[in-house]
Amino acid sequence: MRKRIIAGNWKMNKTMEDGLALASKVTNMAVDEVSSDVTMVMCTPAIHLSPVASITKDVTNVSVGAQNMSEHESGAYTGDLAADMIVSTGASFVIIGHSERREYHFETNQQLADRVKLAVTKGLTPLFCCGESLDTREANDHVNYVNTQLKESLFDLSAEDMKKVVIAYEPIWAIGTGVTASSDQAQEMHLSIRNSLAGQFGQEVANEISILYGGSMKPSNAQELLAQPDVDGGLIGGASLKARDFVDIAKSY
Ligand code: PEP
């Protein structure tokens, strides 16, 4: 059975004090309220990784992730974060290729391919983000666009390594805008992604890969999105900053 994952992306929010308070709240609520079949992940700024990992360490279905990772192992890359550093904090996930990183930091599909490979080698679970802009969707090129992202960043992996990757489909027009993809639009793209993975890696592998939806997911729309057969969870920005909302989304299964 595919893993059901509800991951929160804090982005560049929360001081140390506020971040630790949020992480403690989420962890306590998750223990009391969330099914053990659902994995919750808090993708925090780098400074929070280690203390948040200490808060979640005894809770099996709550994990910690970074928001970005270098494709280099170590060295003179000021301000970057190496896979080994992330692992050493106790975090086990890493977001790779978020649209904000692609847009503001010009990350390329090839760079992201290198990062995914390195993350897997180091034992981290990559949350690989893909998704089209509004212009691309309006030009009806979204399927082709996302397929190219998958092909250029993931298709060099072995089938065994591919199974270790989680994909997040995040239409850029739905991120932080309050506009959510309809459940039909999400299902259509998730199925298309799964078919594309099946074409490259075989149906059995494709069936094992969790594909999350991201883009203005909140408690009021989570149930309908998560009910789609190929939607295996969510990557949540804004609503992950409020413990009650984030946990309510995880309870929407
Ligand atoms: C995101 O940043 O990945 C995201 C989905 O943000 P939001 O939920 O705020 O749209």
Is 98 one of the annotated active-site residues of the chain? yes
Mean pLDDT in residue range 7-24 = 98
Does 7 score more than 90 pLDDT? yes
Are the CB atoms for 2 and 209 separated by under 8 Å?
A: yes
- Provide the pLDDT confidence category of residue 244 given band limits of 50, 70 and 90: very high
Q: Whose CA is nearest to atom 3 of ligand 1?
A: 237
Asked whether residue 89 carries a pLDDT value surpassing 90, the answer given is: yes
Query: For 109-131, how does the pLDDT look when each residue is reduced to its tens digit (9 = 90+)?
Result: 999 999 999 999 999 999 999 99
CATH code of the domain containing 37: 3.20.20.70
| Tally of structural domains, the chain | 1
Question: What is the pLDDT, as a whole number, of residue 84?
Answer: 98
pLDDT at 70 over 90: yes
Q: For residue 238, what pLDDT is reported?
A: 97
What is the pLDDT confidence band of residue 199, given thresholds at 50, 70 and 90? Answer: very high
Q: What is the mean pLDDT of the chain?
A: 97
Q: How far apart are CA 177 and CA 171, in angstroms?
A: 11
Q: Which of 166, 212, 236 to mutate to test the pocket of ligand 1 (most atoms within 8 A of CB)?
A: 236
What is the predicted pLDDT for the residue at 253? Answer: 80
156-193 pLDDT, tens digit per residue, is: 999 999 999 999 999 999 998 988 999 999 999 999 99
Residue 152 has a pLDDT of 98
| 206 pLDDT higher than 90 | yes
What residues make up the domain containing 115? 4-250
pLDDT at 27 over 90: yes
Per-residue pLDDT, 1: 81
Centre of ligand 1 to C-alpha 202, Å, is 30
Exposed/middle/buried for 48, CB within 10 Å: 0-12, 13-18, 19+? buried
Residue 245: CB within 6 Å of ligand 1? Answer: no
Which of the four pLDDT bands, split at 50, 70 and 90, describes residue 92?
Answer: very high
Asked whether the beta carbons of 246 and 2 are under 8 A apart, the reply is no
CB-based contacts of 145-148 (< 8 A; 24+ apart in sequence):
146/189, 146/192, 146/193, 146/196, 147/192, 147/196, 148/109
Closest-lying ligand 1 atom to the alpha carbon of residue 129: 3
> What does the pLDDT read at residue 186?
97
Q: What is the mean pLDDT of residues 29-40?
A: 97
Determine the pLDDT at residue 145: 98
Alpha carbon of 58 to ligand 1 centroid (Å) = 27
User: How far does the centroid of ligand 1 lie from the alpha carbon of residue 109, in Å?
Assistant: 20
pLDDT value for 193: 98
Cα–Cα distances in angstroms (integers) from residue 21 to residues 56, 58, 221, 243, in the given order: 12, 17, 26, 10
- In this structure, are residues 42 and 10 in contact, taking their beta carbons and an 8 Å threshold? yes
Give nearest CA residue, ligand 1 atom 1: 237
CA 25/CA 197 separation, integer angstroms: 37
